[in-house]
A and B are shown apart, each in its own frame.
Chain A
Amino acid sequence: DGGITQSPKYLFRKEGQNVTLSCEQNLNHDAMYWYRQDPGQGLRLIYYSQIVNDFQKGDIAEGYSVSREKKESFPLTVTSAQKNPTAFYLCASSQGTRYGYTFGSGTRLTVV
C-alpha cells in the first residue's frame, strides 16, 4: 500500500544535540512538508519542498534544516539552535495544495 512513513515514533534528545527525523513516501508525490504541533495547538509549517533539490522556509524555520535529495525522502534536522524543540512533528506529502495532504503518523520529540 502507498503511504508516508515517519520514524522514529518517539525520540529523546539531550540539550545541545542535533537530531534528524525521517520521512519517506511511496505515493510519487512531488511536494513534501514538515509541520510542528504543540499541545492544544494547530499545525505550524516548518519547511516545504515542491520538487527535488528545492525547499522553502515556512513560518517557523529557525533552528531547523531539511534536505530533498530524493523524491521519496524529506528528512528534518532539529538543531541545537532550536530552543524549544519538544513537540509532535508531522510530515506530509501531496500532489499540490489543491489535492490535500497525506500525513505520516508523526514523531514525538522530547528534550531531556
Chain B
Amino acid sequence: GESVGLHLPTLSVQEGDNSIINCAYSNSASDYFIWYKQESGKGPQFIIDIRSNMDKRQGQRVTVLLNKTVKHLSLQIAATQPGDSAVYFCAEPQGTALIFGKGTTLSVSS
C-alpha cells in the first residue's frame, strides 16, 4: 500500500556538521508533510511541516525540502548538536489520521 518511509534507519554525524534525513513517499496526491523528533522514552515533538504548494520551508536551524517530482522530502539540520540526537519521523495524512515512517535514528558525537 501507499506509505511514508525513510531511506536510512541510522545516521551518525559529528557535532557541528549538517545533517540530512530523507523520506520517500508513494502517494503523489499527498499535500502535507510533517517532521517529528522523538527523544528516548518520550512522545514525538513537532519540528516543522510543509504543504505541497511549497518546495522549501525553514525553521530555526532546520529546513525541509520537498521534491514532488521524485516524491521525496528531506529534513536538514544545521550545525548539529548533541541535543539533536533522537529518532526523526516523517508523516503524512492518510484519510483522517497521520501515517508515520519507521524513523531515522540520528546520533551526534562530540
Contact = CB atoms under 8 A, between A and B. Distances in A.
B29 interface: no
Given A41-B102, A42-B89, A100-B49, A90 B97 contact: no
Nearest to A43: B100
Interface string A36-60: 0000111101001010000010100
B93 interface: yes
Interface residues on B, range: 20 to 34
A35 B103 CA distance: 15
Given A42-B101, A42-B102, A97-B98, A102 B93 contact: no
Interface in B1-60: 9, 32, 34, 36, 41-46, 49
B46 A48 contact: no
A45 B42 CA distance: 17
B93 A104 contact: no
Contacts of B69: none
Contact of B97 (A48, A100, A103, A106): A48
A106 B42 contact: yes
A26 to B, nearest CB: 16
B110 interface: no
A74 interface: no
A105 B43 contact: yes
29 contacts: A6-B43, A33-B98, A35-B100, A41-B102, A41-B103, A42-B100, A42-B101, A42-B102, A42-B103, A43-B44, A43-B89, A43-B100, A48-B96, A50-B96, A58-B97, A97-B93, A97-B97, A98-B32, A98-B93, A100-B49, A101-B44, A101-B46, A102-B46, A103-B43, A103-B45, A105-B42, A105-B43, A106-B41, A108-B41
Given A41-B103, A102-B46, A108-B41, 17 more contacts: A31-B96, A33-B97, A35-B100, A40-B9, A40-B102, A41-B102, A42-B100, A42-B103, A45-B99, A56-B96, A92-B43, A97-B93, A98-B32, A100-B46, A101-B44, A103-B36, A104-B43
